[in-house]
Amino acid sequence: MLKKSSELRQQEHVNSTQFSVPFDGTKETCPWQTGDVYMDRPIIAVGFTENVYGHSYYIIVERDKTHLRTKFVFNHDHDLVFTKPVERMTGPIPDINKYLQRTNAE
């Protein structure tokens, strides 16, 4: 059975709030490490940041058949703050000049 994206986000929120120790900016309080699996995809990078809102950490997961490499950012309460792809969806820009030349020759 397919779930709605809102249901998946709610489940992700429940999963991310299962950690009882708040993140304080150290590696010891971060629940993820490089090589762990997040959403069936291996984690290739873990990073830590601090801003006016407090400490946060991010993980970058590897691509698979249907997803790009993705960055997930969590706050000090381990709540998911935002997600974004870290690579472009398209490959190299195709050279359209060869198509234009073929059209002009006909």
**What CA–CA distance (Å, rounded) separates 71 from 59?**
6
Burial of 73 (0-12, 13-18, 19+ CB in 10 A): middle
At residue 38, φ and ψ (nearest 5 deg) are -125, 120
- State the pLDDT confidence band at 22, using cuts at 50, 70 and 90: confident
pLDDT, tens digit, 9 for 90 and up, residues 67-106: 888 999 999 888 899 999 887 766 665 566 666 665 555 5
**What CA–CA distance (Å, rounded) separates 90 from 92?**
7
Looking up tokens 């698979």, which residue turns up? 64
Looking up tokens 């969590």, which residue turns up? 74
Instruction: Name the least confident of 5-9, 16-20, 82-86.
Output: 16-20
Higher pLDDT, 41 or 92: 41
